[in-house]
Amino acid sequence: MTTTAADPAGPYAGEGLWRPASGCGPDCLPPPVAPDVSRLRRAGRLLGVLGMLLAGAGVAVLLPLLPLLPAARGRAASRGWARWTLRTLGVRLLVRGRTPRGRALLVANHVSWLDILAVLAVSPTRMVAKCEVRSWPLVGALAAAAGTVFVDRSRPRDLPATVARVAGALRSGRSVAVFPEGTTWCGAATGCRPSRGFRPAMFEAAVAAGAPVVPLSLAYRYAGDPSTLPAFLGAETLWASVRRVLAARDLTVSVTVGAALHPAEGADRRVLARIAEAAVHSTPRSVLADRLDLAA
């Protein structure tokens, strides 16, 4: 894939990957309430999570150094780490549908930093993340050690190379997970949605590698009801979002695994992105048909 100064993202120019916006803000979050758990328990959760992050970094570093370790055990270790980290945070995980097996491009809606743990708890995978994550304390080092593909949204000319890296990982038999909305939103059923929906660029990697696309739908409940409490929005700091989760009792994340999509050789990544988006957001069949007619 080549690029030019006039067309910095090459064949992906104009797809709006680099400056996504959700329109969500502080008003999308629930009003502040008294913590559900004691200060001592919140401190215990925080210390436990820090310990899990350190352990995760160790796992990410050691697994590649153990070539004789069966791949299934390595995947089980990664999945177990993510599930225990969620449990340490006091978050219950529910999984619906068949767990993906083998290589796939996993695509999901994006609500919270918890999404990463939820995806890893379902299927160990390499993640695609914005480059700012690399600077997050502990989390950035863990992400880098785990082989995260970082995207620099300030350099659109790097996009073809990033897509090629994802395609290479898929060809090697690895799964890769991406949040094609490009930003987080509140997750409310009738709330804001990211502008322009799923960005199609990363779907080209699945087409090029001949890999299936597996839609994942993430939803959060607090005390049994749908909630935006875990959302990580706009100018909010990571610490503010983490504190809200640490203080919550009875928080649940559900991951619904959709049927795999198998793109044909030369498939249109834009149409594939629309189909995957419809699967993630459970768009009615009639609406899906209308969208596909328009895309054609």
Res 13: pLDDT: 53
pLDDT, greater one: 70 or 181: 181
Percent of the chain with pLDDT strictly greater than 70: 80
Mean pLDDT rounded to a whole number for the chain:
81
155, two tokens: 């350099």
**Closest to 41 measured CA to CA, from 230, 251, 252, 246:** 246
102 exposure class (CB count in 10 Å sphere: 0-12, 13-18, 19+): exposed
Among 85-99, 150-164, 233-247, the range scoring the smallest mean pLDDT is 150-164
Mean pLDDT computed over 217-229? 93
Neighbours of 185 (CB within 10 A): 25
Per-residue confidence (pLDDT) for residue 34, from 0 to 100: 80
Name the band, by pLDDT with cuts 50, 70 and 90, for residue 94.
very high
Contact of 77 with 59, CB cutoff 8 Å: yes
Q: Which of 50-54, 83-87, 127-131, 141-145 has the lowest mean pLDDT?
A: 141-145
* pLDDT reported for residue 238: 87
The predicted structure's pLDDT at residue 296: 28
Q: What is the pLDDT of residue 11?
A: 58
pLDDT at 259 over 60: yes
The ranges assigned to domains in the chain are 33-125+155-295
Q: Is there a contact between 202 and 105 (Cβ–Cβ < 8 Å)?
A: yes
d(CA 296, CA 293): 5
pLDDT of residue 201: 92
Task: Give the residue-averaged pLDDT of 11-22.
Answer: 55
Report pLDDT for 75. Answer: 74
Report the alpha-carbon distance of residue 234 to residue 50 in Å, rounded: 24
Q: Which residues have a Cβ under 8 Å from the Cβ of 22 and sit 6 or more positions away?
A: 181, 183, 184, 185, 186, 192, 193, 194, 195, 233, 234
Least confident stretch, 75-84, 98-107, 245-254, 286-295:
286-295
Residue 68: which pLDDT band, with cuts at 50, 70 and 90?
A: low
pTM beyond 0.75, yes or no:
yes
Q: Does residue 88 register a pLDDT over 80? A: yes
Calculate ∠ Cα 221-138-159, nearest 5°.
80
Average pLDDT over residues 138-143: 76
Q: Where does the pLDDT of residue 79 fall: very low under 50, low under 70, confident under 90, or very high at 90 and above?
A: confident
Q: For the chain, how many residues are written?
A: 296
Averaged over 23-51, what is the pLDDT? 88
CA 260 to chain centre: 17
Task: Kindly tell me the sign of the dihedral angle through the C-alpha atoms of 117, 118, 123, 126.
Answer: negative
pLDDT at 107 over 60: yes
Instruction: Give the pLDDT of residue 146.
Output: 75
Per-residue confidence band for 27, with pLDDT thresholds at 50, 70 and 90? confident
Task: With a cut of 80, say whether residue 117 has pLDDT above it.
Answer: yes
Q: Is the pLDDT of residue 2 over 50?
A: no
